[in-house]
Chain A
Amino acid sequence: MSDGDVVARSLQDPLAFEELVTSLGPRVHAYLARRVPHHADDLLSEVWLEAFGSRGQYDEGRGEVAGWLFGVARHVLMRHLRRVERSRGAAPDDATQHEDWDAVDRRLDASGLAPVLRAALAALSAEEREVLLLVAWEQLSPTEAAAVLGIPAGTARSRLHRARARITDAWNTTAVTTARGEHHS
Chain B
Amino acid sequence: MTTDTHTSPIDPWTDLRRAGQVTPVSDEALQAARAAVRRAAMTETLRAKVLRVRRRRLRRTAVGLAAAVVVVSGAVTVRLGDHHVGGSPAAAAVLKRAARATIAQHDPVIGPGQYLKVTLVQRTWGTASGRGGKTLRGKDGQLATFEERWTRTIWIPHDIDAAWTFRERTKVLRNGTTDPALQDHAEPNRIYRQASWAAPLSPYHLQTYDPRWYASLPHSPQALLKAIRKAVGGEGHGAAYDLQEIYSEVLRSGLAPATVRSAVFSALAKTHGLEVEQGVSTPAGRAGVAIGARGGRFQMIFDAKTGQYVGERGTDPGFPAVPGLDADKTTLLASVTTTVVDDAPQVR
Contact = CB atoms under 8 A, between A and B. Distances in A.
A4 interface: no
A172 B322 CA distance: 86
A18 to B, nearest CB: 5
B32 A117 contact: no
A2 interface: no
A179 B37 contact: no
A28 to B, nearest CB: 8
B189 interface: no
A183 B5 contact: no
11 contacts: A18-B38, A44-B29, A44-B33, A45-B33, A48-B33, A49-B37, A107-B18, A175-B8, A179-B5, A182-B3, A183-B1
A172 to B, nearest CB: 7
A103 B13 contact: no
A41 B29 contact: yes
Given A18-B41, A45-B32, A103-B22, 17 more contacts: A10-B41, A15-B45, A18-B34, A25-B33, A26-B25, A29-B29, A30-B20, A48-B36, A52-B41, A107-B19, A117-B12, A136-B16, A136-B20, A167-B16, A171-B11, A171-B12, A175-B5
Given A25-B30, A178-B3, A15 B41 contact: yes
A178 B6 CA distance: 13
A34 interface: yes
A15 B36 CA distance: 11
A8 interface: no
A78 interface: no
A41 B13 CA distance: 27
A33 interface: yes
A44 B10 contact: no
The residue in B2, B25, B38, B42 that gathers the most chain A C-beta atoms within 10 A of its C-beta is: B25
Interface range, A side: 35 or more
Interface of A: 10, 14-15, 17-18, 21-22, 25-26, 29-30, 33-34, 37, 40-41, 44-45, 47-49, 52-53, 103-104, 107-108, 111, 113, 117, 120, 132-133, 136-137, 167-168, 170-172, 175-176, 178-179, 182-183
B23 interface: yes
A111 B15 contact: yes
Contacts of A120: 12
B26 interface: yes
Given A53-B40, A104-B19, A171-B11, A26 B45 contact: no
